[in-house]
Structure 1
Amino acid sequence: MDDRQTPRSNEMTYGQQTKRNSLILLGAVVVVFALIYLFAPEGTDTVAQESAVKPAPTTVVPTEAPIQTAQAGVETALGQFAVTVGASSITQEVAGNTTVDQFVVVDLTFKNNDTRARDLSHSIATLIDGSGVEYKASDFLRDGFLYYETVNPGLTRSYKIAFETPAGISGLKLRLKDGVAFAAETAVEFTLK
């Protein structure tokens, strides 16, 4: 008889290997369930949790900053800034950029009265016409124009800001917020001259 045909005493047959693998798998499943049971918080019923009605998620809606009013040319408190809105002008060309309508250009001065650095950006400004239409500041202007800057405590910065608008609008107001994005706490509307 050939040695290849008779199993040796230390070798397992196919049936024995299958039984052993099945027992190992069953043991592993039991261990996993035991661990889940041991480490689950007391009073936890996973089936009840999955089928329980879950409360609807709540949405936090940021509130608008309170709006004060002021006149251009008068230094006004805006949060931790002292701000002065200076002269305003209407033109068709700003810093080499032209429009078929108009740009409203406004001079601004900010002093940081806080004990920490504060951010300024063109996004804090909105121009409002007499009909209530709102215009965002042009964001393509850099040198000398308010784009984005962190201002350290005690420092004063002067900028221009430009808004591209339709020609002929009137009754202009400039709304400034005291911070960028969600940092804004107050706002002031300045009547432009």
Structure 2
Amino acid sequence: METPPVAVAAGNDLELRLLDADDAVALQRAIDESRDHLVPFMPFATTDPSDLAFRRSWIEECREAFRTGQRFQYGIIRADEVIGECSIHPIDDRTASIGFWVHVEHVRQGVASAVATALTRAALKAGCETVCIRHDRANAASGSIAARLGYERIGEEPHSIDAPGQTGTSVVWVLTGTV
């Protein structure tokens, strides 16, 4: 997989971009304001400290992972505001997994679908042949996004429970294609 761009358009009013230290306050605010919404399925919502030093360090880790091709983490930006995060995780040279979370005030507005579409296209353009979405069985919203985007549900697999709403079973969706 080649390195995707550091900024990706996601619909008319969304941009996915590599965050920098100046985004730490906005990212932490988005997490803090969405914590109750995130806690059931996102482990970081309960384990990450709620302070700017940690958030700046996290952003720096993400930038280094992007530079080295380990993970491509983006902030979701709407009207110059950080409203979530998303990522492309390379599995091998031809396969990647995508993930995303959206600020609670922006759910059910098509943001997650637009983000998933943009991430899928970016992964395919970067040379992936297969893109995966994995989510806990209890997270029906993520499953509906995968289905709506044409991903095929290929099965389930166990995972460790690391957030209070998780069942320990991941649903696996794949999309195989070219851009």
TM-score of the aligned structures, taking structure 1 as reference length: 0.26
Structure with bigger helix share is 2
TM-score of the aligned structures, taking structure 2 as reference length: 0.28
Structure with bigger strand share is 1
Structure with max Cα Rg: 1
